[in-house]
Amino acid sequence: MPGGVGGALRKLEVPVKRLIQGARTEQVLNPAAVDNPDLIAYFARLGAERKRRSAPHT
C-alpha cells in the first residue's frame, strides 16, 4: 500500500480502493502527493483491467 508524503497511509486507503474499482487516477488523487507514484500507476492499471474484464461483452 503506498503511503502519502509524510507517511499518511490511512488517507490513501479510500483512493486506492477507488482505483482498484476502476476510477481514473486524476479523479481520485494527485500522484505527486504520494511517496511512490509507481504504486499508484500499478493500482490504476489493476483497476482498469478489472473494469475491462467486468464490462459486458457485445
What is the per-residue pLDDT for 43? 92
What 3-state class would DSSP assign to 4? strand
- Other Cβ atoms less than 10 A from the Cβ of 15: the count is 21
What is the per-residue pLDDT for 36? 85
In whole angstroms, what separates CA 20 from the centre of its chain? 6
5 in Cβ contact with 37 (< 8 Å): no
What is the per-residue pLDDT for 2? 53
Residue type, 55: A
Q: What is the pLDDT along the chain (58 residues), one digit of tens a residue?
A: 555 555 555 678 889 999 999 999 999 998 888 888 898 999 999 999 999 998 876 6
DSSP 16-45: HHHHHTT--HHHH--GGGBS-HHHHHHHHH
